[in-house]
Chains A and B, each alone.
Chain A
Amino acid sequence: MADKLLEIKDLNITYNTEITTVYAVNGMSLSLEYGETLGLVGETGAGKTTTCLSVMRLLPEGIGEVTNGSIILDGNDMLNLSEDKVRELRGNIVSMIFQDPMSSLNPVMTVGDQILEVLKEHNKDMSKADLDKAVDDMMELVGIPANRKNEYPHEFSGGMKQRIVIAIALVCEPKLILADEPTTALDVTIQAQMLGLINDLQKRLNTAMILVTHDLGVVAQTCEKVAVMYAGEVIEFGKAEHIFGAENLHPYTKGLFDAIPKLDEDTERLVTIDGMIPDPTQVIKGCRFAERCKFATDKCKVAPPVVEVEPGHLVKCHRYGK
């Protein structure tokens, strides 16, 4: 067994369309231990979902392309495996929870069958009775009475659908769950329930998780480690207490924290980071954040080094370089 569950190194992903090439992920590196929870934070277009899809090897065929780098998952070289082997891992070793529970269930299949399908695929020698029992148990575990397994997705509420989606993701007891903004489509009370449920099950089954989110509050609640992504790369990585300790931060991460409205102060306007995420169709040589950074100097025209500002806390910025 490998010592790390997931090791992404220098990953580059492009989307090639007829009109242009989009550089979605640029030199992304990330590692994750067994059973660990990592929050992957960043604004829209930072490459969070793309990274997750590439771990599952589910990038849109013929459009998304990994141009460089490696992904090692539980000792498997994901980018060089045969399709059949990847299928064995999908849903079994690694599974994904998608953003929108309303559309991620098949409307013409009963929820029980949808949970059963993945279990059966990866446990071909299990008996019918055992399979059914496992589906029932999983449904109860996510808080849905097993006698509703013959109902269809349209007969469930949004929160319950997401419970089903979680059941599908967890029924094979994978080593890694990629949760791609699992609560974005749900209202706030349900969000909290759902996160509690995922966290709970994750601990019970000793599953590692990458939680993709915009929400720093959610990260603080649930994650041991945090990776901040900007324009296709990880610009800051560390334990949650490093990031939320608010010292030695990357200027972008600092900007993200400043943008959270404070309850104890009167603010007329919300604080924002000036400027826009750089055009992803352009190749940028230096620091990708330099254009929006108030600390930017001439040094920032070259790519910044990754600096370990304190043990286990990595920042990709010239400010902390020697």
Chain B
Amino acid sequence: MNKKLLKMIGRRIVQSVIVIFIVTLIVFLLNQMVPGDPIVNFLGPNATEEQIEYYTQLFGYDQPVLVQYFKWIQGLFRGEMGRSVALQMEISDILFERLKVTLSMVFPAFILAVALGVTLGITAAKKRGSIFDSVISFFANIGMSMPMFWFGMILILIFALKLGILPTSGFTAFSEGAGEWASHIILPVIVLAMGPLAQFTRQTRSSMLEVIRQDYVMTARAKGISQKAITFKHQLRNAFIPIITVMGMSLGGMIGGTVLVESIFVVPGLGTLMISSIKSRDFMVVQNGVLVIAIAVALCNLIVDILYGVIDPRIRND
């Protein structure tokens, strides 16, 4: 039984590696097609031909496209991502610094969305048709359709400008004080969590409703076990497959999709780094950034697949 599970996990890891490899190729080629040059951008309009040529050679941008690609991949295996032209720093240093900031928003937001979404979804399903259910469904619909940037601005307007209890923007690392960190992060986390929260609530509600009518739930009732045991042991575990799918996709999407939230709240995360790098045509940073995001998304999918196998014994077989 566990052998089956391990085999399944091994297969999924191989698949993930292939996907990540394909992503590197696509992102590299796309970058080649984008007009503009990082060196020209960095040196500015007053640079001489010699200067441009010197730096182009220094960064290896004069070499054939394929050679550049293989050098990049080669570097990755040694743990080197290259240097940023615009920032004049090792790309791996910047990226991981920024990734930490992004993750410190994404994880709290994700946990908030999961805990609240699943709870609300179960409650709504149990009290289907009640006022409570209608209110939850109403807000879930609003949550899913409200644009992030608008919601973010409204929150800034209320909590920062009108009430003055939270800062409008910026970021403080956790190591510099938990209170400061929390006050800066609370609004971005809420904005980031809203969409997924609404989605988890709806998905949990509908999966639970589907499961509630199953025969095995009737069997469980006929055993005389408590409603709590029925909900958690029989219903939720069966309802969890589609919920986990949505969660995995959301977590991946949140890591890649913090661009908007980081821009609104001026957070120095991965998203804002990507935007500035695209503007300065610093494509080595862009492609490494995309790679990091791709790995994160692949990792989320991998975890979801493993959880499938853990939850549902039927999936271990194929």
Contacts and interface: CB of A to CB of B under 8 A. Distances in A.
B311 interface: yes
A106 B225 contact: no
Contacts of A108: 237-238, 311-313
A165 B312 CA distance: 20
Contacts of A106: 216, 219-220, 233-234, 238
A255 to B, nearest CB: 32
B100 interface: no
Nearest to B216: A106
Nearest to A88: B224
A89 interface: yes
Contacts of B3: none
B314 A98 contact: no
A117 B214 CA distance: 18
A292 interface: no
Contacts of A168: 219, 223
A100 B223 contact: no
Interface in A94-119: 95-96, 98, 100, 103-109, 117-118
A152 B223 contact: no
B145 interface: no
Contacts of A154: 313-314
Interface string B200-215: 0000000000000011
B218 interface: yes
Interface residues of B, number: 22
B226 interface: yes
A90 B221 contact: yes
Contacts of A86: 224
A109 B233 contact: yes
Given A98-B219, A105-B216, A106-B219, A118 B224 contact: yes
Given A100-B215, A104-B216, A87 B222 contact: no
A42 interface: no
Interface in B264-318: 311-314
B225 A117 contact: yes
A91 interface: yes
Contacts of B226: 87
A171 to B, nearest CB: 10
A121 interface: yes
A122 B222 CA distance: 12
A58 interface: yes
Contacts of B314: 107, 152, 154
A235 interface: no
A121 B222 CA distance: 12
27 contacts: A58-B221, A58-B222, A87-B224, A88-B224, A90-B221, A90-B222, A91-B222, A98-B215, A98-B218, A103-B216, A104-B218, A104-B219, A105-B219, A106-B220, A107-B216, A107-B238, A107-B312, A107-B314, A108-B238, A109-B233, A117-B233, A118-B224, A121-B225, A152-B313, A154-B313, A165-B219, A168-B223
Given A91-B223, A98-B215, A165-B219, 17 more contacts: A87-B224, A90-B221, A90-B224, A91-B222, A103-B214, A103-B215, A104-B215, A104-B216, A104-B218, A104-B219, A106-B238, A107-B216, A108-B237, A117-B225, A152-B314, A154-B313, A168-B219
Closest 5 CB pairs of A and B: A90-B224, A91-B224, A118-B223, A91-B223, A103-B215
Interface of B: 1, 214-216, 218-226, 229, 233-234, 237-238, 311-314
